[in-house]
Amino acid sequence: MPLDLTLQRVDDDLAQGRVLPAIQRLRSLVRTYPDRLDVRARLAVVYRSQHEIAQAGRWSFLAEDADATEIAAFERAFRSPRGRLAAVAWSGDTDALGPVASARLARLQEGARSPDDAVDERTRSERVLERAGCTAAGLVAGAIALLAILGLGALVVQGVRVVAGWF
């Protein structure tokens, strides 16, 4: 679908209160036209209207007048420079950016190249389990222990029934 027609559908979606389809269309456009700053800006505006400041910061990251609060929220949501660089998904020429955005992108690229950028490749559930002090082996052991307790409980109940039947 041509860019202009898709943007018109985005406007129609938003006029009718259909935010999710508008976001999906705009994200598709960003994937197709990653160097179109105007499309990124529109996507940031839609996220901003939904109070999604991390996403607004993500899509306005390359804007000259990006909001510092949104950029900070984006950086909290995407903790590693490599993760942020991938999320920004810029494949255009840095000459297309203004001086402020170009410098911001250069700092991000430099941080992503740094060996100190330890990218946490674990899934969210693995990180949650680690924080809780659990491992996969611990979870398996816990499940086995729970089944053993339930089995013993069932044997005790059956034993009580047998003994009660003797009386």
52-76 tens-digit pLDDT:
999 999 999 999 999 999 999 999 9
* Beta carbons within 8 Å of 47's beta carbon, 6+ residues apart: 23, 53, 55, 56, 58, 59
**Half-sphere exposure for 155 (CA within 13 Å, toward CB):** 6
Average confidence score pLDDT of the chain: 86
Per-residue pLDDT, 39: 93
Per-residue pLDDT, 16: 96
CA 84 distance to own-chain centroid: 10
Q: What's the rounded Cα separation, in Å, for the pair 80 and 84?
A: 6
> How many other C-beta atoms are found inside a 10 Å radius of the C-beta of residue 159?
10
Q: What's the rounded Cα separation, in Å, for the pair 146 and 52?
A: 41
Per-residue pLDDT, 122: 58
Q: What residue has token string 């839609």?
A: 46
pTM, rounded to two decimals: 0.66
* Beta carbons within 8 Å of 43's beta carbon, 6+ residues apart: 23, 26, 27, 30, 59
Phi first, then psi: give them for residue 106, nearest 5 degrees: -60, -40
- Above pLDDT 90, what percent of the chain? 50
